[in-house]
């Protein structure tokens, strides 16, 4: 396959993942408000069979904090894919290394790092809750997000350096 076709497919996949993560965050938000204000039975199936009833019965405050952390991380992941979609829009094959794309990659790196740190905080909080109650710790995916932050950081640095080299070459021609 040609590079343009692969990038087009990746652009479509990024859109699908962005929409899916927006739906996930929206479903958590709707279920969360439903469980708080309409019917507390929604706690037993807050999202795809996820049962937070033990946590809700233990402490409503801990339930609220946990679900808000889930919503924040899901929203940050959706925002991450939104930024990735913007990268696909701004990449030009005639001059691929541009400053706007380098800035977007740096922004993606920051968002991934913030998401990873939020997931680490949520993992520690979830582990503490597990010790306090019989609440099953939620898988926050902090380790994979930290690894991804490192990889994106390296790519962003390489891309920034490529922008500098390309601008130097444009000046010498």
Domain ranges (residues) in the chain: 3-172
Which residues share a beta bridge with 50?
Answer: 47
Q: Contacts from 107-111 at CB under 8 Å and sequence distance 24+?
A: 107/83, 108/80, 108/83, 108/84, 108/152, 108/156, 109/149, 109/152, 109/153, 109/156, 111/76, 111/79, 111/80, 111/83
**Percent share of the chain, pLDDT over 70:** 95
From 29, 61, 59, select the one nearest 46 (Cα to Cα).
29
Q: pTM value?
A: 0.86
Query: Which of 50-54, 67-71, 98-102, 164-168 has the highest average model confidence (pLDDT)?
Result: 67-71
From 75, 72, 80, 73, select the one nearest 104 (Cα to Cα).
80
DSSP 50: B
Position 1 scores a pLDDT of: 64
Position 173 scores a pLDDT of: 55
Are 138 and 66 spatial neighbours (Cβ–Cβ below 8 Å)?
yes
| Statement: residue 74 has pLDDT above 90 | yes
From 61, 168, 170, 81, select the one nearest 125 (Cα to Cα).
61
What 3-state DSSP class applies to 51?
coil
Position 21 scores a pLDDT of: 93
Model pLDDT for residues 79-138, shown as the tens digit of each residue: 999 999 999 888 877 777 888 888 999 999 999 999 999 999 998 888 888 888 777 777
CA distance 89 to 173: 27
Give the ranges where the chain is alpha helix by DSSP (H). 3-33, 53-58, 60-90, 99-132, 142-172
Of 138 and 77, the structure prediction assigns the larger pLDDT to 77
Please provide the average confidence, as pLDDT, over all residues in the chain.
87
CA distance 63 to 52: 7
Lowest mean pLDDT among 16-25, 152-161, 162-171: 162-171
Lowest mean pLDDT among 11-25, 27-41, 124-138: 124-138
């Amino acid at each position: 396959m040609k590079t343009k076709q692969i990038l087009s497919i990746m652009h479509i996949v990024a859109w699908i993942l962005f929409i899916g993560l927006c739906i996930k965050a929206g479903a958590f938000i709707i279920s969360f408000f439903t469980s708080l204000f309409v019917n507390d039975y929604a706690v037993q199936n807050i999202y795809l069979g996820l049962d937070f009833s033990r946590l809700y019965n233990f402490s409503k405050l801990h339930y609220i904090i946990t679900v808000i952390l889930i919503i924040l991380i899901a929203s940050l992941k959706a925002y991450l894919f939104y930024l990735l979609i913007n990268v696909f829009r701004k990449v030009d094959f005639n001059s691929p290394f541009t400053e706007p794309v380098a800035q977007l990659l740096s922004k993606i790196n920051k968002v991934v790092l913030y998401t990873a740190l939020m997931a680490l905080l949520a993992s520690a909080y979830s582990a503490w809750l597990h010790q306090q109650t019989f609440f099953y710790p939620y898988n926050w995916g902090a380790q994979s997000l930290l690894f991804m932050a490192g990889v994106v950081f390296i790519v962003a640095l390489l891309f920034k350096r490529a922008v500098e080299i390309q601008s130097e070459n444009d000046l010498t021609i």
